[in-house]
C-alpha cells in the first residue's frame, strides 16, 4: 500500500506485521498492551469523538503528558480529521503553557496527570481539558473516547481521504536554549519522508522487535521514532518514569532504545562508580577492561592480541554491562546533542552498538544517521546523509540543509522563517564538515565565542573532552571578550567520594570538599590533562567548582538536557566575574 500520510502507517503495520503488542504501558505493577488492530480501533473511535466535539480541520489541540499509548492515540486521531497537534513538555512552566496556548490558538487540551492538570488549568481559560489519568471532576480520556461510539465510520473515511501529504499535522514549539519557543510547522510529507528514508538505512540484527521508549514524545526525535517503529513493526514499551528505566530495561529486555548523550554519560558514570567500589583483583580487572574499551575502534582492526583481550573482557566484565541494559540490546540510537567519542568506543567494545545521528526539529528531524555496522560506523561522526537530503557547508562553516524533511516555517513568525530559510536552504546554526556523505558536527554557531585577543573558541568540543574526567559531571566553558577561556564545573560527587576514600581524605560535605586545597589540586591536574588537546588560546586557565547540579527543574538544561548557556551565564554571573578578578 502507498504511504502518503502518517496515519497510513496504522493499516500498513496491520497488513505487514499485525502485532499482538504494538504499544504497552505499565499500570499498577503490570503491563497493559494494545495490538495493532486495537490501536486502529481506538484511533478511529477517537477521531469520531473529535468530530462529535466540533474539532474542525486546522483546529489546534495540545498534548501535555509523559509517554503513554494515549499520547499516540490522540496524535494519530487528530491527523485523521485534519486537526493540528501541539505537543508540549510536561516540565515547562504555567507561563510557558499560557504563551503556547495563546500563540497557537489552542482549542482543547489533553493532560497526563494531576500535576500537569494543575499547571495547565490556571492558564487554560475556557478551553476544555481531558485527562489520561482519573481526576475527580475532570473529563477522563475514556469518557471522551465514548463520544465516538456508534458513529458512522464512513464519515471518518471521507475525512481521511481529504487529508493531503502537504497538510500541516503538528506545530512543535522548540524548547530553545534562549528566549521564547518557536512553533515549527511540519507536514505529513515532512515527517513521513524522513521515516521512510530512516527505514531504508535501519538495518539492525535480525530479531529486533522490542523497544523501550523514555525520551519525551513531545520532542521530534522520539515523535518521529514512534512513527518509524510503527513502520518497522516494533513493539513499543513506555518506561514508567526516568527513575524506573533501570527496572524497565530488565523487565522488557529491549533490543533497541533511543537516548540522549547525557543519559549515556550517567549510565557510564554509574558503571565506573561501581568499579571504584570493587577491591583487589576484581577492581584491577574492571579498569583493565575499561581501558581496553576506551581504545576500541569498531571500524578498524585492533590486532589479534587486542581481540583476544577484548573477548576475555567481554566475558568477565562487559557481559555485566549488557545485563544491566536488559541483556538483549542490539542497538542504541543517540541524538539531540554531541556524544563523547569515548562513550561510543567503550560501548561498542562492550558489544553495545551506540549509533549517533543528527537533526533538528526543523528537519523532522534526521539529516544524517550512523549505519550501525562495523564497515560503515565512524566514531566521532554523526553518520551518513540520508537519501533525498542535501547538505552543503557555508563559507563560515555552517551546515545548510535542503530536502522534503525541511519545515514549512515558524508559526506566525514570518521574519524568523525568512532568516532560517534563505535561498531554499535551511540554516541549522551548527558548524560542521563533510567527508563525502559523512557529516561531523564541530560546534554550535551561536555558542562559539571570541576572546579579547580575537581568537575563536568552540566550547562544545572542549566541554566533551573535559567531561571525560570521571570527576567532572557537568561543565560549561566561558570567556567571551575575556583574555582567556575559563570554566564552571559541577563535580561528579560520587566519584569524588571514591577518590577521597582512595586517598584517605575525610569527606565532610560536597560544599566543603570543593574548597579544600588537595581537591582543587586534583581538579587542576584534570584540567591540565584535557588542555593538552587544545591550542594555547583555547585552554582553560581558571575554573570555579560548583556545589549544585544543573537540571531541567532548576532551569539550566533544556528538556533534552542541553545546556541553556544564557541562563547559566546569568545565574552564575558573579562566579564568572570572580574567576576573572581573582
| Partners of residue 475 on adjacent β-strands | 489
Question: What is the rounded CA–CA span in Å between residue 225 and residue 173?
Answer: 18
User: Cell digits for 475?
Assistant: 561543565
- Phi, psi at residue 143, to the nearest 5°? -65, -40
| Partners of residue 491 on adjacent β-strands | 472
pLDDT, residue 207, reads 64
What 472-476 contacts at long range (C-beta under 8 Å, 24+ apart), as own/partner pairs, is 472/526, 473/269, 473/549, 474/549, 474/550, 476/563, 476/565, 476/568
- How far apart, in Å, are the Cα atoms of 300 and each of 224, 346, 435? 32, 14, 18
Angle between helices 188-201 and 220-232 (to 10 degrees): 60
Question: What is the rounded CA–CA span in Å between residue 275 and residue 514?
Answer: 23
Cis ω for the linkage preceding 365 (within 30 of 0): yes
pLDDT, residue 524, reads 96
pLDDT, residue 129, reads 98
- How far apart, in Å, are the Cα atoms of 417 and each of 183, 394, 427, 458? 10, 19, 10, 26
Cβ atoms 197, 388 nearer than 8 A: yes
Question: What is the rounded CA–CA span in Å between residue 159 and residue 151?
Answer: 13
Query: How is domain 448-581 classified at the architecture level of CATH?
Result: 2-Layer Sandwich (3.30)
If you search the block for the grid coordinates 495490538, which residue do you land on? 35
Question: What is the rounded CA–CA span in Å between residue 540 and residue 459?
Answer: 10
- Phi, psi at residue 262, to the nearest 5°? -60, -40
For 170-202, give the DSSP string: EEEE---SSSS--EEEEEHHHHHHHHHHHHHH-
Radius of gyration of the chain (CA): 25
CATH assignment of 6-163, among 3.30.70.980, 3.40.50.980, 3.30.70.1560, 3.30.200.20: 3.40.50.980
Cβ partners under 8 Å of residue 335, min gap 6: 221, 258, 260, 356, 357, 358, 359, 365
pLDDT, tens digit only, all 582 positions of the chain: 899 999 999 999 999 999 999 999 998 899 999 999 999 999 999 999 999 999 999 999 999 999 999 999 999 999 999 999 999 999 888 999 999 999 999 999 999 999 999 999 999 999 999 999 999 999 999 999 999 997 788 999 999 999 999 999 999 998 655 567 899 999 999 999 999 999 888 755 566 799 999 999 999 999 999 999 999 999 999 999 988 999 999 999 999 999 998 899 889 988 988 898 899 999 999 999 999 999 999 989 999 999 999 999 999 999 999 999 999 999 999 988 888 899 999 999 999 999 999 999 999 999 999 988 888 999 999 999 999 999 999 999 999 999 999 999 999 999 999 999 998 999 999 999 999 999 999 888 888 888 888 888 889 889 989 999 989 999 999 998 898 999 999 999 999 998 999 899 999 999 999 999 999 999 999 999 999 999 898 999 999 999 999 998 898 988 878 888 989 999 999 999 999 986
CA 5 to chain CA centroid, nearest Å? 25
Question: What is the rounded CA–CA span in Å between residue 506 and residue 561?
Answer: 33
Question: What is the rounded CA–CA span in Å between residue 185 and residue 406?
Answer: 10
**DSSP-assigned letter for residue 362:** G
pTM of the model: 0.88
Q: Domain 256-446 class?
A: alpha beta
Question: Where do the structural domains in the chain lie, given as residue ranges?
Answer: 6-163, 256-446, 448-581
Parallel/antiparallel/unpaired status of strands 106-111 and 60-64 = parallel
Within 10 A of 206 (CB to CB), how many other CB atoms are there? 7
Check for a shared fold between 256-446 and 448-581: no
The number of residues making up the chain comes to 582
CA 160 to chain CA centroid, nearest Å? 31
Give the residue from 464, 433, 428 showing the smallest Cα distance to 261: 464
Parallel/antiparallel/unpaired status of strands 256-259 and 210-213 = parallel
Question: What is the rounded CA–CA span in Å between residue 61 and residue 443?
Answer: 36
Question: What is the rounded CA–CA span in Å between residue 182 and residue 172?
Answer: 8
Within 10 A of 316 (CB to CB), how many other CB atoms are there? 13
Amino acid at each position: 500500500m502507498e504511504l502518503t500520510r502518517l496515519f497510513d502507517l496504522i493499516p500498513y503495520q496491520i497488513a505487514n506485521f499485525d502485532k499482538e503488542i504494538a504499544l504497552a504501558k505499565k499500570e499498577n505493577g503490570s503491563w497493559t498492551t494494545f495490538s495493532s488492530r486495537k490501536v486502529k480501533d481506538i484511533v478511529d473511535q477517537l477521531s469520531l469523538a473529535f468530530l462529535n466535539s466540533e474539532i474542525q480541520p486546522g483546529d489546534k489541540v495540545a498534548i501535555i503528558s509523559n509517554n503513554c499509548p494515549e499520547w499516540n492515540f490522540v496524535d494519530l486521531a487528530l491527523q485523521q480529521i485534519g486537526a493540528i497537534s501541539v505537543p508540549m513538555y510536561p516540565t515547562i512552566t504555567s507561563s510557558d503553557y499560557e504563551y503556547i496556548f495563546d500563540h497557537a490558538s489552542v482549542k482543547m487540551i489533553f493532560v497526563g496527570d494531576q500535576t500537569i492538570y494543575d499547571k495547565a488549568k490556571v492558564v487554560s481559560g475556557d478551553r476544555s481539558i481531558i485527562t489520561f489519568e482519573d481526576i475527580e471532576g475532570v473529563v477522563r480520556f475514556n469518557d471522551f473516547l465514548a463520544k465516538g461510539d456508534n458513529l458512522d465510520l464512513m464519515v471518518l473515511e471521507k475525512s481521511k481521504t481529504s487529508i493531503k501529504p502537504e497538510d500541516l499535522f503538528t506545530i512543535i514549539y522548540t524548547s530553545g536554549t534562549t528566549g521564547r519557543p518557536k512553533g515549527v510547522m511540519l507536514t505529513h510529507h515532512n515527517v513521513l519522508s524522513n521515516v521512510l528514508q530512516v527505514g531504508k538505512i535501519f538495518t539492525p540484527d535480525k530479531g529486533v522487535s522490542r523497544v523501550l521508549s523514555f525520551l519525551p514524545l513531545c520532542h521530534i526525535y522520539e515523535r518521529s521514532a514512534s512513527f518509524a517503529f510503527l513502520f518497522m513493526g516494533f513493539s513499543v514499551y513506555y518506561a514508567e518514569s526516568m527513575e524506573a528505566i533501570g527496572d524497565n530495561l530488565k523487565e522488557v529486555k529491549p533490543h533497541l532504545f533511543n537516548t540522549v548523550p547525557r543519559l549515556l554519560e550517567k549510565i557510564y558514570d554509574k558503571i565506573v562508580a561501581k568499579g571504584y567500589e570493587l577491591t583487589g583483583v576484581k577492581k584491577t580487572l574492571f579498569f583493565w577492561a575499561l581501558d581496553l574499551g576506551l581504545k576500541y575502534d569498531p571500524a578498524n582492526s585492533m590486532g589479534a592480541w587486542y581481540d583476544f583481550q577484548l573477548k576475555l573482557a567481554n566475558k568477565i566484565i562487559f557481559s555485566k554491562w549488557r545485563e544491566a541494559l536488559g541483556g538483549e540490546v542490539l542497538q542504541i540510537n543517540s541524538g539531540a546533542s554531541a556524544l563523547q567519542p569515548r562513550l561510543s568506543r567503550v560501548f561498542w567494545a562492550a558489544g553495545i552498538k551506540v549509533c549517533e545521528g543528527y537533526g533538528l526539529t526543523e528537519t523532522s528531524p534526521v539529516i544524517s544517521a550512523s549505519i550501525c555496522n562495523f564497515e560503515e560506523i565512524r566514531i566521532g561522526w554523526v553518520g551518513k546523509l540520508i537519501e533525498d537530503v542535501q547538505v552543503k557547508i557555508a563559507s563560515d562553516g555552517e551546515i545548510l540543509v535542503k530536502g522534503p524533511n525541511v519545515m514549512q516555517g515558524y508559526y506566525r513568525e514570518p521574519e524568523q522563517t525568512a532568516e532560517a530559510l534563505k535561498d531554499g536552504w535551511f540554516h541549522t546554526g551548527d558548524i560542521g564538515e563533510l567527508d563525502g556523505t559523512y557529516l561531523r558536527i564541530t560546534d554550535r554557531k551561536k555558542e562559539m565565542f571570541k576572546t579579547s585577543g580575537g581568537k575563536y573558541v568552540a566550547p562544545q568540543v572542549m566541554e566533551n573532552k573535559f567531561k571525560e574526567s570521571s570527576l567532572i559531571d557537568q561543565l560549561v566553558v566561558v570567556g567571551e571578550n575575556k583574555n582567556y577561556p575559563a570554566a564552571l564545573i559541577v563535580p561528579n560527587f560520587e566519584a569524588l567520594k571514591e577518590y577521597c576514600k582512595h586517598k584517605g581524605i575525610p569527606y565532610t560535605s560536597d560544599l566543603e570538599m570543593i574548597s579544600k586545597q588537595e581537591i582543587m589540586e586534583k581538579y587542576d591536574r584534570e584540567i591540565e590533562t584535557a588542555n593538552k588537546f587544545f591550542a594555547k588560546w583555547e585552554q582553560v586557565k581558571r575554573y570555579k567548582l560548583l556545589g549544585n547540579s544543573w537540571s531541567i527543574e532548576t532551569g539550566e538544561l533544556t528538556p533534552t538536557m542541553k545546556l541553556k548557556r544564557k541562563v547559566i551565564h546569568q545565574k552564575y554571573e558573579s562566579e564568572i566575574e570572580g574567576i576573572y578578578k581573582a
